[in-house]
Amino acid sequence: MRSTTTIPLLLLAATLTACTPLTVSFTLFAKDKKLVESVVDEDSNASWKVCVIDVQGLIVDAPLPGLLGPGANPVDEVVARLDRARTDASIRAVVLRINSPGGSVTGSDVLYREIRRFRELSNKPVVVSMAEVAASGGYYIALAADRILANPTTITGSIGVIVPTINFSDGLSRIGIVARSVKSGPNKDIANSLEPMKDSHYRVLQGLVDEYYAAFRQHVKDRRPNLDLARFDESTDGRIMSGREALARGLVDQLGGIREAFDAAKELAGIQAAKMVKFRLEGAAVPRTAYADASVDLPTTPAASNPGTEVNLLRIDASGFFPHAGPAPSSFYYLWMANEP
């Protein structure tokens, strides 16, 4: 039974609409949703398929925070689609559409390994299509592909590791607040933001950063056959660059967008014609074109979502509400932190 009674959250909606478009949906008795295939483009007389999988936003192996609680796990969303593409005999290749500034070291490495696993188990080629941004961890996972395409204006590169830290101890001491940890060893409170910075702590962190950075650089060397080795150190010093510059340095294979990646996937799979498909969650909005993000669960209408189970409908899309919210301090990231100070 459906109810549309007014609820106090409407006050929140009224407050927030002045800042950003709002869409929030509450669903009771929700069941696990299946992945549903949608055709977003196709060649004439196509019998085979190429699956486009979106990799959007931060790459972490954990649920992303949401306005009303934990959201989806980005690694899980991609792996579920890879598994579906692997077991579908009519899908002959995958295009990863990456639009990400990166994420955690572990999340990026897990997803890289999952893409390589898909390639080895299925023997289906993987092509990367870089969108607006495919930097740091976004570039790291692209290295798992057989071919990488970037738009001339794509922002990519940012090859490196960062541990963002912040220290409040001096400011707190000025107002009479002093912190002191009771700890089992000198490094148990490493990079404690409430106590004065210790060089010994930062040497430990630097050692881990150097380890992860060396692994990133080795992946670039191993996976990029046309790499300009004369500029390798410069290309991997953390700088960002355009897709056109990345091509000149051998970090990508060619320039082009989603359609050129579709053609490359067909070429590598040895097929002439194919349907371009995406997987979306059952009840989510049907992607109109290849550019639609099918990795998120966005119901089109109350009736389309799950008839009879959605109550007190209030839709709040808070994307952009916290545009400068960054990652937690003292974690390791393959991340281009464009919005950080």
Return per-residue pLDDT of the chain as tens, 341 residues. 444 444 444 444 444 434 444 444 444 444 567 999 899 999 999 999 999 999 999 999 888 776 666 778 899 999 999 999 999 999 999 999 999 999 999 999 999 999 999 999 999 999 999 999 999 999 999 999 999 999 999 999 999 998 888 888 888 888 988 888 888 888 888 888 888 888 888 899 899 999 999 999 999 999 999 999 999 999 999 999 999 999 999 999 999 999 999 999 999 999 999 999 999 988 888 988 989 888 765 444 443 334 443 333 333 333 333 333 344 444 666 666 655 44
The CA distance from 263 to 11, in Å, is: 50
pLDDT at position 282, please?
A: 87
Domain ranges of the chain: 33-161+199-296+325-335
Is domain 33-161+199-296+325-335 given the CATH code 3.90.226.10 in the classification? yes
Please write the tens of the pLDDT for every residue from 125-166: 999 999 999 999 999 999 999 999 999 999 999 999 988 888
pLDDT at position 139, please?
A: 97
Hey, which residues are catalytic here?
A: 136, 188
Tokens of 86: 């692997």
pLDDT at position 65, please?
A: 75
pLDDT at position 2, please?
A: 42
